[in-house]
Amino acid sequence: MNKLAVFPGSFDPITNGHLDLIERGLKVFDKILIAISINAGKKPLFTLDERIGMIKASLKGCIFESCVEVDAFDGLLVDYVKKVHANAILRGLRAISDFEYEFPMSLMNRNLSEEVETLFLMTGLRCSYISSSIIKDVVVAGGCVAGLVPEPIEKKLKERLLNDVGAGQNLPRIVVSHAKPEPVLHKLAS
């Protein structure tokens, strides 16, 4: 029987860390279904269609391309996992902070559905510091992310973050302001 894993996430954008996890996940599963969460609460840099296209472009030519599919889901992850008859959820763990984030999520998923298991793979050492948000931070600040994301992603990130007017406004960490700071003390006194 073919074993299928759902690999859920925001993928805003996909990184080499994700690809590393997929490649290693395929040692356990026959097929991996990348499932992009359509989460209205988050403000992604790339639209859902862009993210799907970017994932497909990144997979092109990979030796495991035929074993990976891309989809999107809304609502509960466990419902989606059951809908596609997957055997498990696949997630990656980098540092302790990841564990703190993943632990309640996996327990909640098990609480919602006992039949859905989550399988965690430790990140590859080369990818342990890569995250979509740190990649965006580096690009917006003019740094190089070659080798950390697939080539089509590097290009797209530069186009979006360095050329687009208003780029980076969805980034939570870096705030660039040219406005004169308000006189805070004066404001408090008045």
Mark whether 24 is an active-site residue: no
Q: Let me know how long the chain is.
A: 190
Question: Is cis: bond before 13, omega within 30 of 0?
Answer: yes
Residue 10 CB, shortest distance to ligand PNS, in Å, is 4
Sheet holding 31-37, edge to edge: 68-73, 31-37, 4-9, 88-93, 117-122
Pick 112 or 162: Cβ nearer ligand PNS: 112
Mark whether 42 is an active-site residue: yes
DSSP secondary structure letters along 59-109: HTT-TTGGGEEEEEE-S-HHHHHHHTT-SEEEEEE-SHHHHHHHHHHHHHH
Residues lying near ligand PNS in the complex (CB under 6 A): 8-10, 37, 76-77, 105, 108-109
Note whether 91 and 119 are within 8 A (CB). Answer: yes
- Under DSSP, is residue 35 helix (H, G, I), strand (E, B) or coil? strand
Per annotation, catalytic residue among 37, 51, 58, 132: 132
Pick 1 or 80: Cβ nearer ligand PNS: 80
Residue 39 CB, shortest distance to ligand PNS, in Å, is 6
Residue number, nearest CB to ligand PNS: 9
Residue 9 CB, shortest distance to ligand PNS, in Å, is 3
Mark whether 132 is an active-site residue: yes
Residue 154 CB, shortest distance to ligand PNS, in Å, is 20
Mark whether 178 is an active-site residue: no
Pick 108 or 122: Cβ nearer ligand PNS: 108
- Which residues are marked as active site? 18, 42, 94, 132
